[in-house]
Amino acid sequence: MLTPDVPKLSCQHLNLYFGTKQILKDVSIEFPKNQVVSLIGPSGCGKSTLLRSFNRMHDLVADARIEGKLFLDNQDLYAPQVSVTQIRKRVGMVFQKPNPLPKSIYDNLAYALRIHQFPKNEIPQLIENALRESYLWEEVKNELKKPAVKLSGGQQQRLCIARTVVLRPEVILMDEPCSALDPISTNKIEELILKLKEHYTIVIVTHNMQQAQRISDKVAFMYLGELIEYDTCEHIFHRPQKELTKNYISGHFG
């Protein structure tokens, strides 16, 4: 059964500039609660830039400038009184390359919980829950003190997902989370994404059209900073309305 299209995350008339260069052009989009939305489009079209706008990653870029409105539920993400730390807790992010901290498996998760001042006595259970939720517990339960960097790439990425979910975010942004992984690890992450959407709203950037078809409820096709077409996965891949979308998904460019 499809969850109703309640927007969890959205932006309206978003323009984003790096210096004088306009990267995003009047993008308006809504991401429904508990669904997976894939952002697709050729390299450089602004997918990652759009994704990063939603947890204020561009705050760290000196010449980035944003116009328009972005919302998490009905909270204005860029309102002056908003705490960026709180936003990043509610909107977690998983990056292209697994980036565990140079700490043990356990401490990778404990660190995030301590920073956000979770009660000390709850930490062990929260860590176990997050590792179970990320399909990693069975593989690591007897070696939680092992350095995280000694895990395989796929396990490291599931650890990074665990590090995100341990904070109980509402949204998970994923920037090409499988691009550094082999097909078996990729398959595990895709299964995990489908499971995670029961609890989280997920927006993922992917170059892999098969992956987008396997995991997405909706798909957004971007080109040169514009949102060209946004519809159900079925429509985008089987009945695209725009010629550009048709050409892109049939591999004519990109």
Ligand X SMILES: Nc1ncnc2c1ncn2[C@@H]1O[C@H](COP(=O)(O)OP(=O)(O)OP(=O)(O)O)[C@@H](O)[C@H]1O
Binding site for ligand X (CB under 6 A): 18, 23, 41, 43-49, 61, 205
Q: Which residue, 45 or 136, has its beta carbon nearer to ligand X?
A: 45
Q: In whole angstroms, how close is the CB of 21 to ligand X at the nearest point?
A: 6
Taking the complex as a whole, the smallest distance from the CB of residue 96 to ligand X amounts, in Å, to: 8
Ramachandran bin of 15, using left for φ above 0, alpha for ψ from -120 to 50, beta for the remaining angles: beta
Least separation, in Å, of the C-beta of 219 and ligand X?
14
Residue 139 CB partners (closer than 8 Å, separation 6+): 155
64/123 with CB nearer ligand X: 64
Distance in angstroms between the alpha carbons of the first and the last residue of the chain: 34
Give the nearer residue to ligand X in terms of CB position, either 63 or 73.
63
In the complex, the smallest distance separating the C-beta of residue 42 from ligand X, rounded to whole angstroms, is 7
- Using the minimum distance from each CB to ligand X, give the nearer residue, 41 or 154: 41
Q: How far apart (Å, rounded) are the C-alpha atoms in residues 44 and 34? A: 28
